[in-house]
Structure 1
Amino acid sequence: MKQNKYDDSGFFEKYSQMPRSLGGLDAAGEWTTFRTLFPELRGKKMLDLGCGFGWHCRYARELQARSVVGIDLSENMLERAKAMTEDPQIEYRRLAIEDIDFAEGEFDVVISSLALHYVERFDLICRKVYHCLAQDGTFVLSVEHPIFTALATQDWYYGQQGEKLHWPVDNYHEEGPRLSRFLDNDVIKYHRTVTTYINALIESGFRIMKLSELQPTQDMLDKNSAWQEEIRRPMFLLISAVKG
């Protein structure tokens, strides 16, 4: 299933008002850690899977990437990305992640930020990314953590006074679709275990270089007390892998 909620005008309007939509990468809590997983981008050709507003594409060019291709299924996303971009070395294409079919070794770096948990066959994407990466190319991705996606409700268990008692985890090993609520809309996310994410990459030929479950730093806690929740349970899983 190829979801495209972002071309629904009401959903897109709500998404456009999110802090990360307004503030860009600096407003994305995982960004500080995510960018540390990137290789040297100078002179590299990069592909962004699910590029959204193109924040990562423009960042790569700021670091002197040779060229960037950003793909997304949403016309609304791509229109916004193009309006925010004045750089002939960034190309945006309307394309589902599932449909990528680039030439062998076409890119040096492939990234994907919080998009692959909407894709049913992660293993197929890994093989396609491996194919289009040059030797020693890097694949960097972030997804919602499997502890976060295991239950479709994606919410705390509350006490009688509305206090957050604990984060429930159930049906963890039962992989597959979860019908969740996001911005007052039903969206389908695909739950996978950490094991599945890692083994899919390894079985496609990648070497895992680094993992992060995004433990908040003291600086993050000082700036935003809401990050205290991320100490109680991880929300993000970030992975860096290399085509070996």
Structure 2
Amino acid sequence: MKQNIYDHPEFFHQYQKLRQAPYNYNNLLEQPALKSLLPNLTNLQMLDIGCGMGQFAYYCIENNAQHVTAIDVSKNMLAMAQREHAHPHIEYLLRAIEDFHAAPDSFDCITSSLSLHYIKDFSAAIGKIAKMLRPGCVFVFSVEHPIASARKTMEDNWMYDNSRNRCHYAIDNYQDEGLRERTWFVDGVVKYHRSISTIINTLIEHDLTIEKILEPIPDSEAIQKLPSLEKEHRRPSFLVIRARK
């Protein structure tokens, strides 16, 4: 069974608080980077994988996309999306990408924000995405950065001196790909670590051309709003990629 941690009551409560904070890593760092790689959305048929609470799907409609099919495995997330970001040109579906089916060449743009690191069979998902994408069109997605996902231990991976100043970030098990179980609000959150080369080569194997890669870093204004972002200059949290069919 596919993990659906977002319907865990305590996890969802804590995640809502995180996302509803005025400043967080998503709205100051990951989302600006993801949006910067989008094509002109005017009249595009889009698929958004792991749509969450629907903010991004609604953004696409606001930027003149013709229609967004938005899928997620979480009933909690979709209930929020329907309540806060409903639109006649957005179709929200309770569906994992593994179980979603559409005809070949169905979409002008496919997006995914921080959802593909929850998927066990990355190659199968990318193969499905490539088939659904129309020739010449783009796939834009973000994942947790492999530097951040590599270690198998759940503790803070920063190393500190005796005064609790950060000395460096510890990376280990980088080439040992696969399942990582984390404590994030609750115990037992399952993600999958992949190396950068595996991510890139999987896209290439499915006839997707890499156009741009971002490892977003915050500007001074973002750091002023959320000082913890400063450490992104030392260790990236996100990897964002645009690939074209």
TM-score normalised by structure 2 residue count: 0.93
Does the 8 Å contact 1:175/1:193 carry over to 2?
A: yes
3-state SS, counterpart of residue 192 of structure 2: strand
2:142 aligned with 1:178: no
Instruction: Report the Cα distance in structure 2 between the residues aligned to 1:13 and 1:218, rounded to whole angstroms.
Output: 30
Give the aligned residue type for 2:2. Answer: K
3-state SS, counterpart of residue 177 of structure 1: strand
**How much is the aligned-residue C-alpha RMSD, in angstroms?**
1.7
Give the aligned residue type for 1:73. Answer: V
Equivalent residue for 1:62?
Answer: 62
Higher mean alpha-carbon deviation, 199-208 vs 23-32, is at: 23-32
Equivalent residue for 2:161?
Answer: 159
3-state SS, counterpart of residue 29 of structure 2: coil
Instruction: Report the Cα distance in structure 1 between the residues aligned to 2:220 and 2:7, rounded to whole angstroms.
Output: 38
| Residues paired across the two proteins, number | 242
3-state SS, counterpart of residue 58 of structure 1: helix
Equivalent residue for 1:204?
Answer: 206
Give the aligned residue type for 2:139. Answer: F
Structure 1 residues 39-78: Cα deviation after superposition (integer angstroms, max 9, x where no partner): 1101001111000001110000000100001100110110
Unaligned runs of 5+ in 1: none
3-state SS, counterpart of residue 140 of structure 2: strand
3-state SS, counterpart of residue 60 of structure 2: helix
Instruction: Report the Cα distance in structure 1 between the residues aligned to 2:101 and 2:195, rounded to whole angstroms.
Output: 26
Equivalent residue for 1:233?
Answer: 235
Give the aligned residue type for 1:193. Answer: S
Does the 8 Å contact 1:208/1:240 carry over to 2?
A: yes
Equivalent residue for 1:134?
Answer: 134
Equivalent residue for 2:99?
Answer: 99
Equivalent residue for 1:4?
Answer: 4
When residues 21 and 205 of structure 1 are mapped into structure 2, their CA distance, relative to the original with a 3 A threshold, is farther
Q: CA deviation at 1:203?
A: 0.5
Q: Percent identity?
A: 39
1:214 to 213, 216, 220: 216
Does the 8 Å contact 1:11/1:185 carry over to 2?
A: no
Equivalent residue for 1:193?
Answer: 195
Instruction: Report the Cα distance in structure 2 between the residues aligned to 1:208 and 1:119, rounded to whole angstroms.
Output: 21
Give the aligned residue type for 1:98. Answer: E
Does the 8 Å contact 2:11/2:185 carry over to 1?
A: yes
Equivalent residue for 1:44?
Answer: 44
Structure 1 residues 21-53: Cα deviation after superposition (integer angstroms, max 9, x where no partner): 455997342222211100110100111100000
Instruction: Report the Cα distance in structure 1 between the residues aligned to 2:86 and 2:217, rounded to whole angstroms.
Output: 35
3-state SS, counterpart of residue 123 of structure 1: helix
Unaligned runs of 5+ in 2: none
Instruction: Report the Cα distance in structure 2 between the residues aligned to 1:165 and 1:22, rounded to whole angstroms.
Output: 29
Equivalent residue for 2:244?
Answer: 242
Q: CA deviation at 1:2?
A: 1.2
Does the 8 Å contact 1:24/1:55 carry over to 2?
A: no
Instruction: Report the Cα distance in structure 1 between the residues aligned to 2:2 and 2:137, rounded to whole angstroms.
Output: 27
Does the 8 Å contact 2:178/2:193 carry over to 1?
A: yes
TM-score normalised by structure 1 residue count: 0.94
Instruction: Report the Cα distance in structure 1 between the residues aligned to 2:146 and 2:16, rounded to whole angstroms.
Output: 26
Give the aligned residue type for 1:197. Answer: I
3-state SS, counterpart of residue 220 of structure 1: helix
Instruction: Report the Cα distance in structure 2 between the residues aligned to 1:13 and 1:140, rounded to whole angstroms.
Output: 28
When residues 30 and 80 of structure 1 are mapped into structure 2, their CA distance, relative to the original with a 3 A threshold, is same
When residues 68 and 23 of structure 1 are mapped into structure 2, their CA distance, relative to the original with a 3 A threshold, is farther
